[in-house]
Amino acid sequence: MAKATSSAPSQRMLRVGEQVRAALMQILQRGEVRDDLLEKTVISISEVRMSPDLKIATAYVTPLGVADHTESIDALNRHAKFIRGRLGPHLRQMKYVPEVRFRDDTSFDNYQKIDALLRSPEVQRDLGSSNEKDDEQN
């Protein structure tokens, strides 16, 4: 059987990643992780990327309402083995429970930068001139 040459995630990786994300959200929402910092922080998990062998799950998280994310990310990584143990019942269909790694999700920062660029006067001027040309042609 030929090996796939694409580096894009497979359907199986995407499906398992979504199952792991849902299980992580349940664990964090129930407050199963005993940590003072994590108990008072709302954490959003935007994506979980699985390794091709499904043994490593990288969770991209954003602590909401906190300026410095590093403390929350470090706390999650300190409790990663405990969280992995709690994932077992949620992922009974898998042969191995994946090792969980937590990373800061910077996609929201990128969205804000793009939004700020689109709202800048230079872009608005350019969009305004193209909208005026479209109105003249109609």
Q: What is the mean pLDDT of each run of 10 residues along the chain (138 residues)?
A: 66 92 92 86 91 94 86 92 92 90 85 83 76 55
Pairing of strands 42-50, 56-64: antiparallel
- pLDDT at residue 127, as a whole number: 77
Output the pTM of the full model. Answer: 0.74
- pLDDT at residue 64, as a whole number: 86
Contact in structure between 23 and 90 (CB atoms under 8 Å) = yes
- State the DSSP H helix or E strand holding residue 51, giving kind and residue range, or none if neither: none
Distances (CA, A) of 117 to 4, 78, 114, 125, 126: 38, 37, 5, 12, 12
- pLDDT at residue 69, as a whole number: 86
- pLDDT at residue 73, as a whole number: 92
- pLDDT at residue 82, as a whole number: 94
Give 119's contacts (C-beta < 8 A, 6+ positions apart): none
